[in-house]
């Protein structure tokens, strides 16, 4: 759990969007943050933006789809800064996939980033946390993983896998000092959601998402879902029987 004293926090997918905003919020609160992403330039810009904050941001390049890159980045992290107190696994990608554009290649690409990329990091972090006896892992999924949604067979499936994995890890680690938290955002204005061609309900800015994540890390509990109104609607949809759910989605989307 996030405390008021300075902690070392590793954030992946920090070059833009929710990851970037969360890194700035944590640095503003005085934490030491190591930020990772595929490209160095956005990470260096992030360091500049936080130069007057009490906490320091340090860049560490990483491609979560490359096992060797994950190995090298984690080794560098531990050697240079130590095992982090918390890791926010935020790297992800999004591409809509309507049925007339169904593509196994697209499914594989999204699974590789959104799910397998995260599991590559969990594989490194979990033994280190267990050896030390404590640590916090924050797995960022999406409310799109609650139920199947139109055009989201690839994206929603990858996020559903993250939700399931987080639940499984939490079950086994319950009662230990290794804290697993699951983040399920709704629509957040990022370069990924900018690809959407429809009006996004309850759209929020990444700074608001970051504050929700940080507040959730400061409290006990498993899931951090926001914005709460949209998350509540999506949770209620999970309770509907299939026949009613499919009719409702067809009527609302026209698909």
> Is 49 a domain residue?
yes
In a domain, 1, yes or no: no
Domain contains 43:
yes
Average pLDDT of span 161-177: 97
- Residue closest to 23 by CA, chosen among 44, 3, 39: 44
Of 115, 146, 155, 242, catalytic = 155
CATH code, domain with 119? 3.40.50.720
Buried b (16+ CB within 10 A) or exposed e, 70-100: beebbeebeeeeebbbbbbbbbbbbbbbeee
User: Does the residue 3 lie in any domain?
Assistant: no
Task: Please name every residue paired with 183 in a beta bridge, in sequence order, or none if there are none.
Answer: 140, 224
Domain that holds residue 61: 8-253
What's the average model confidence in pLDDT over 167-192? 93
Average pLDDT on 53-61 reads: 97
> Is there a domain that residue 2 lies in?
no
pLDDT the model gives residue 148: 95
Beta strands in the chain (DSSP E): 8-12, 32-37, 57-61, 86-89, 135-140, 178-185, 223-226
When comparing pLDDT for 140 and 198, which is higher?
140
Q: Domain count of the chain?
A: 1
The arithmetic mean of pLDDT across residues 111-124, rounded, is 98
3-class secondary-structure state, position 29 = coil
Query: Is 155 a residue of the active site?
Result: yes
Q: How would residue 3 be classed by pLDDT, with cut points 50, 70 and 90?
A: confident
């Amino acid at each position: 759990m996030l405390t008021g004293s300075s902690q070392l926090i590793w954030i992946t997918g920090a070059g833009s969007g929710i990851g970037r905003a969360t890194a700035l919020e944590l640095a503003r609160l005085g934490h030491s943050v190591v930020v990772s992403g595929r490209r160095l330039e956005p990470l260096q810009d992030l360091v500049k933006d936080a130069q007057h904050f009490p906490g320091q941001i340090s860049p560490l390049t990483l491609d979560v789809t490359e096992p060797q890159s994950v190995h090298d980045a984690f080794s560098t992290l531990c050697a240079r800064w130590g095992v982090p107190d918390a890791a926010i696994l935020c790297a992800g990608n999004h591409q809509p996939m309507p049925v007339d554009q169904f593509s196994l290649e697209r499914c594989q690409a999204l699974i590789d980033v959104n799910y397998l990329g995260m599991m590559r990091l969990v594989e490194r972090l979990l033994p280190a946390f267990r050896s030390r006896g404590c640590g916090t892992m924050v797995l960022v999924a999406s409310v799109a993983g609650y139920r199947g949604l139109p055009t989201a067979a690839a994206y929603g499936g990858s996020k559903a896998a993250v939700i399931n994995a987080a639940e499984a890890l939490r079950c086994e680690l319950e009662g230990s000092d290794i804290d697993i938290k699951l983040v399920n955002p709704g629509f957040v204005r990022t370069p990924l959601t900018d690809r959407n061609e429809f009006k996004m309900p309850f759209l929020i800015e990444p700074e608001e998402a970051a504050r929700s994540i940080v507040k959730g890390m400061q409290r006990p509990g498993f899931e951090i879902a926001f914005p709460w109104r949209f998350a509540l609607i999506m949770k209620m949809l999970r309770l509907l029987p299939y026949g009613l759910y499919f009719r409702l989605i067809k009527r609302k989307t026209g698909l």
